[in-house]
Amino acid sequence: MTVENDTSVHDNQTLGVWTDYSFEYKVASVFLVTLICGVGIVGNVMVILVVLTTKHMRTPTNCYLVSLAAADLMVLTAAGLPNITDALHGQWVYGYAGCLGITYFQYLGINASSCSITAFTVERYIAICHPIRAQFLCTLSRAKKIIMLVWALTSVYCIMWLFLSDTKKLIYDNVVLLTCAYKVSRSHYLPIYFTDFTVFYVLPLMLATVLYGLIARILFINPLPSDPKDSTKNNSALNCSKLCGNEVINVTKMLAVVVILFALLWMPYRTLVVVNSFLDKPYLDTWFLLFCRLCIYLNSAINPIIYNAMSQKFRAAFKKLCHCGPQRMEKPASYSVALTYSVIKETSNGESPDHFTTVMDELHTPSAQYLPASILPNAKKMVYEEPSPSSRDVKA
């Protein structure tokens, strides 16, 4: 990240004797940053690819996850990779234009990721707590428009960093180093930082806490019906409801974990800057700064791992993308249509029409490839099954 302490030189004064980073710090910094950023870049690229290239993965929720993956890629490249050159060279090596551009993309990625998290949190709340409205609000086209609006607004907002960033020379007794810093002093920078801190960290977390609390009340305090009498009356529909409900809960848990990790992994860096704002001499321990930065990079790298661990749909898509899983038909018509119609009729899980099918496809995994036999007889006769090729269809 760019330098945040107010280092200035008056007249012929110097900053004392400069000492390079220790060998241990260089090895640890380069290795850990390269590992985390490398894994994160590969993982986020895979998230984008599986959603864009797999038809049944294109859902409103996954659109927000693509936006989050793009923002995380920006953070990993603009903030993570320059940290490696800083550890090796001890100074800024990308020049004036690089200082402006990299600082801009750092904050753009950070702010866009926060807005993307807020967007899918609101989407989950509407989908689960207001299922009727969700059919019209939580659509794929609306999600795309919201994402474009988020990136447009954050892009405009972050333009101010182009005017606040600049390269500075740090004059020591034994060397002169170039650094990428801020033009304004700490006293002028603090209002800008606290505005950014409040809008893109505090408020999103407060909103997420409230909305996930309301979601938990719906999903866990008022679970899906399990009355034995209802089970005997319409056992197949109930089974279908339970299957769908479990998947909705799993997806919601996965997104909640993303939000929690966002709060925890950003906390060290945010806390450090807040504390330094009230200190005459800021605390800038080299190893603690590295720890704070690694937490930020880890936050941007860990989301694809969460998707793989908690979502069968993403796990199957990742395997297919890597050609390390069994090759199966993407969407058997007799499976998805019957299950989708049954869920729409018997439950109100809050998904939009184009999202219903996708939630049901979550069940299309190696562990649950086919519907239970009890569901099919009671499903409406909307299933279209392609006829199997017969001898008269085969040409010699």
Q: Are 200 and 114 in contact (CB under 8 A)?
A: yes
pTM of the predicted model, to two decimals? 0.76
The pLDDT value recorded for residue 354 is 44
CB within 8 Å of 151: residues ≥ 6 apart: 67, 112
Helix segments in 277-381, DSSP class H: 286-310, 312-322, 333-346, 353-361
pLDDT of res. 255: 93
pLDDT in tens, 227-281: 444 444 444 444 444 545 677 888 889 999 999 999 999 999 998 988 888 888 8
**Which one-letter DSSP state was computed for residue 109?**
H
Query: For the segment 357-393, what is each residue's pLDDT rounded down to a tens digit?
Result: 444 444 444 444 434 444 444 444 343 344 444 443 4
The single-letter DSSP state of residue 158 is T
Average pLDDT, 10 consecutive residues per value, the chain (396 residues):
42 69 92 95 96 90 95 94 88 92 95 95 92 89 95 95 90 87 80 89 95 88 52 43 65 92 94 85 90 95 95 91 61 37 35 41 40 42 41 38
The structure tokens listed for 73 are 């890629």
- Residue 328: the pLDDT is 52
Q: Which domains does the chain have, with CATH numbers?
A: 23-322 (1.20.1070.10)
DSSP sequence for 180-249: EEESS-HHHHHHHHHHHHIIIIIHHHHHHHHHHHHHHIIIIIS-----HHHHHHSHHHHHHHHHHHHHHH
Report the chain's C-alpha Rg in angstroms: 26
User: What pLDDT is attached to residue 332?
Assistant: 42
Using alpha carbons, list the distances in angstroms from residue 253 to 245, 307, 344: 12, 11, 22
Sole residue written with tokens 């392609």: 386
Tally of CB atoms within 10 A around 275: 11
What one-character-per-residue DSSP string does 160-178 give?
HHHHHEEEEEEE-SS-EEE
Q: Report d(CA 214, CA 218) in Å as an integer.
A: 7
What pLDDT, on the 0 to 100 scale, is given for residue 3?
Answer: 41
CB 283 within 8 A of CB 275: yes
Q: What's the token pair of residue 295?
A: 């937490």
